[in-house]
Amino acid sequence: MEAKVAKAHARYVRISPRKVQVVIDLIRGKNVGEALSILKLTPRAAAPIVEKVLKSAIANAENNHNMDVSKLYIAEIYANQGPTLKRYQPHAQGRAFEIKKRTSHITVVLKERA
């Protein structure tokens, strides 16, 4: 029998994947209750975004797959790079420097512990 999995994605999030990676490394492999507690107390810009995706995955597990929320843990969580928005900052003597506004695709995969 295949183990049930619940997924949630947040695509085109306007935060660098490198900054998201710091937050998701804190909660990888943890139970969902513990992970939500950690995210609430994490003073990073990515924390509320990751928390929202995690809550969505929990809701998907509960409503779509009839999984027990108390047994859920984060099996996989990763942030891939999305498209980069390129902007230009004018500088002295007619120069212009490129600013790269990076985006992320965040994915959370939940499974039940045996």
pLDDT in tens, 85-103: 999 999 999 999 999 999 9
Q: pLDDT of 25-39, one tens digit each?
A: 999 999 999 999 999
Token couple for 40? 């609430």
1: confidence class by pLDDT, cuts 50, 70, 90:
low
Distance, in Å, from the CA atom of 90 to the CA atom of 82, rounded to the nearest integer, reads 25
Q: For residue 114, what pLDDT band results from cuts at 50, 70 and 90?
A: confident
24-45 burial, b at 16+ Cβ within 10 Å, e below that, comes to: beebeeebbeebeebbeebeee
Instruction: Give tens-digit pLDDT for 49-66.
Output: 999 999 999 999 999 999
pLDDT of residue 42: 96
pTM of the model: 0.91
Domains assigned to the chain? 5-112 (3.90.470.10)
